Structure 1
């Protein structure tokens, strides 16, 4: 527990983000939400996740402001988990994980999914880190600096 508190209060944004949404189930729930899954039962079918674990992760994601819980859009008695602006801002993280996995975790000829844009039905261009001036940056081109918000 002390380690979790240390991560949640760390000065490192990476540590805080991982503590908040970095476990595999939370990321896969968010991934499924980008594929328009909104109902508890649909998340469970997609992920094959035990109900108690799914309920716990969804509750935490609602508390973090990643999802809003709303009445079902079809007027039924169900509720839906809808991504908030904060939740939608996770999209580049999911895309970068996907692209890294596509590039490094599949053998040649092995079947996998790719992300296509809806307008042209072409693969999404790989994300890149660039300076404010448009220069492509590598790790050695960057440094960390402590700031106060």
Structure 2
């Protein structure tokens, strides 16, 4: 029988990211946090989420270091959930996911758009290489490869993919 692979056993930054934020409520909570929500009742009202699910998701986000739980009231004790630097660093990811979704909807079906805060003009987010400014949408120009901490399996995977790309390139040149 095939061994079931757990996410935490995967040697891949995508697996690590999914483990931290892959549950859909988590992304929605983060989105609300980017919009300035900090209190349990704000999240619950905005998302219409059960208290048990919201409690579990907030606890997970605090454990993962994406939110910080701080008291804002002493009697009775009440807490707010504030984005950490690590949590704020996920904003471009959430923006990119929303932009991808909007690109696949007719404009009259989009319920949320990203705009320039000063001009109100709609913007179209793209991912670019910070060093060169080149758009990363070109799947032929930018590819993944094994990083310095890659194990043997990851190195073998990308060595094989490199061989396939080289073979395709040779075929195109002939």
TM-score by length of 1: 0.85
Q: 1:108 to 1:124 in 2, by over 3 A?
A: closer
Write out per-residue CA displacement over residues 100-144 of structure 1, whole angstroms, 9 at most, x where no aligned residue.
11111x234225221223222222332223363222231222232
- Greater Rg by CA: 2
Q: Using the alignment, how far apart are the partners of 1:108 and 1:47 within structure 2?
A: 24
Tell me whether 1:59 sits opposite 2:59 in the alignment.
yes
Q: Using the alignment, how far apart are the partners of 1:42 and 1:136 within structure 2?
A: 37
Moved more, 27-36 or 132-141: 132-141
SS of match in other structure, 1:70: strand
Contact 1:9 1:16 in 2 (8 A): no
TM-score by length of 2: 0.74
Aligned to 2:147: 146
Tell me whether 1:95 sits opposite 2:84 in the alignment.
no
Q: How many angstroms does 1:16 deviate by?
A: 0.9
Structure 2: where are the runs of 5+ without partners?
Answer: 151-174
Q: 1:131 to 1:40 in 2, by over 3 A?
A: closer
SS of match in other structure, 2:37: coil
Aligned to 2:170: none
Q: How many angstroms does 1:57 deviate by?
A: 0.6
SS of match in other structure, 2:69: strand
Q: How many angstroms does 1:3 deviate by?
A: 5.6
Aligned to 1:135: 134
Q: How many angstroms does 1:72 deviate by?
A: 2.1
For this pair of structures, how many residues does the alignment match?
A: 145
Regions of 4+ moved over 3 Å: none
Q: 1:68 to 1:101 in 2, by over 3 A?
A: same
RMSD (CA atoms): 2.3
Tell me whether 1:33 sits opposite 2:47 in the alignment.
no
